[in-house]
Amino acid sequence: MSAGPETPPGSGSDRDGGAAAGAVVPATAGPRRRLGRLERLAIEGVMTREVINWLSFWKSSTFSSTVEPTIYLLAFGFGFGSIVSEIDGYDYVDYVGTGTVATSVLFGSAFSAMFGSFVKREFQRTYDAILAAPVDVEELVTAEALWMAIRASVYGCFPLLVAMIFGLDPAWGMLLVPLLCFPCAFGFASFGLLISAIVRSIDSFSYYQSLILTPLFLVAGTFFPLDGLPRGIQIASELNPLHHLVELVRGAAFGFDGWHDVARFAALIVFALVMWRLAIRQSTKRLIT
């Protein structure tokens, strides 16, 4: 989804070498020189920065994004597990182990997008530096969301690995988990970038955290089934991307639910695309004055 139909692969690279020799630039820019939108080179450039930075702090980043869901898994798995042994026909540790994949994706994408991008924009002025290079806001946002989505999709697998230690049976379908996580992670990373582009102060994140993210995370079918909840909440949960991801991951572990799961995956893609465009629009407003 990174590349829209208008992506011209590798356009513009022809000029880079020529500039070195101080070649004369024609007074008018011909179509050959027109740089397109969502260029691979620009997106790769921004992602390179993210990867190089990540390599310098991957330990702490990986720690916070994987340990927290693991703690949830252990606390609920063993805490509730001692009271509840089975839910919906699943062993409770298996139930929570598959469910916290979504939690991990959320923490790895939305939170790092909100705080990370705020810091890069307001304190480190990184975005100013990037936007002075041939990178547009659209590419910047896309690259940031892509990188965070890839990272969060990988982090999302950790709870499964931990749950395996505690008895979750491996299944081939689990290899699909990173792929299932990706659109959801991309959507939440974009959501984080969107919120970051809205707020004036870093403290304001707590409103969005408390009013949007925490409810989404608790009412996703991660720790308890939604059947017992009031009907209104059940219907509302169909709008919760995390709920769809939770169900898809359980599908990957225990068997998919045919077209129903295809529809869930499609919903995640729609979520991702909508958030992506909104993040671009709001970020442009914020960054280009």
Partner 1 sequence: MPPPSALSLKGVRKAFGPVQAVDGLDLEVPEGTCVGLLGPNGAGKSTTMRLLTAQSIADEGTIDVLGFSLPGESKQARAVMGLVPQLDNLDTTLTVRDNLRVFVRLYRVPRAEREDAIRRALEIATLTERADTKVDALSGGMRRRLLIARALVHRPRLVLLDEPTVGLDPQVRQELWALIDRLRSEGVSILMSTHYIEEAERLADTVTVMAEGRAVATGRPKDLILEHAGRTVLEVYGPPEHLRTVETAAQDAGHDHRRTGTSVAILRAEGLGGSLAGHAGHERAANLEDVFVALTGEEVA
Nearer to partner 1, 23 or 239 (CB): 23
Nearer to partner 1, 43 or 216 (CB): 43
128 makes contact with partner 1 (CB under 8 A) = yes
Three-class DSSP labels, 37-99:
CCCHHHHHHHHHHHHHHHHHHHHHHHHHHHHHHHHHHHHHHHHHHHCCCEECCEEHHHHHHHH
Question: What is the C-alpha to C-alpha distance for residues 69 and 194, in angstroms, rounded to an integer?
Answer: 24
Smallest gap, in angstroms, from Cβ of residue 3 to partner 1?
A: 17
Structure tokens at 150: 């890839």
Q: Which of 4, 9, 16, 169 binds partner 1 (CB under 8 A)?
A: 16
44 makes contact with partner 1 (CB under 8 A) = yes
Q: Which of 4, 9, 34, 179 binds partner 1 (CB under 8 A)?
A: 34
User: Interacting stretch for partner 1, rule CB under 8 A, among 51-59, 79-87, 100-108, 260-268?
Assistant: 51-59
8 makes contact with partner 1 (CB under 8 A) = no
- Torsion of the alpha carbons at 112, 113, 114 and 116, rounded to the nearest 10: 70
User: Interacting stretch for partner 1, rule CB under 8 A, among 45-53, 147-155, 174-182, 242-250?
Assistant: 45-53
Question: What is the C-alpha to C-alpha distance for residues 96 and 75, in angstroms, rounded to an integer?
Answer: 10
Nearer to partner 1, 91 or 144 (CB): 144
Structure tokens at 249: 């991951």
> Measuring CA to CA, which residue among 41, 166, 25, 23 is closest to residue 95?
166
97-126 binders of partner 1 (CB under 8 A): 124-126
Tell me how crowded residue 206 is: count the other CB atoms within 10 A of its CB. 10
Q: Is 17 helix (H, G, I), strand (E, B) or coil?
A: helix
Q: Is 107 helix (H, G, I), strand (E, B) or coil?
A: helix
Residue 75 sits at the vertex; the CA angle it makes with 228 and 108, to the nearest 5 degrees, is 90
Q: Is 270 helix (H, G, I), strand (E, B) or coil?
A: helix
Nearer to partner 1, 100 or 282 (CB): 282
DSSP symbol at 210: I
57 makes contact with partner 1 (CB under 8 A) = yes
Q: Which of 136, 144, 247, 261 binds partner 1 (CB under 8 A)?
A: 136
Smallest gap, in angstroms, from Cβ of residue 20 to partner 1?
A: 4
Q: Which of 35, 164, 176, 199 binds partner 1 (CB under 8 A)?
A: 35
User: Which residues in this chain contact partner 1 in the complex, by CB under 8 A?
Assistant: 12-13, 15-17, 19-20, 22, 25-29, 33-35, 41-42, 44-46, 48-49, 52-53, 56-57, 124-126, 128-136, 287-289
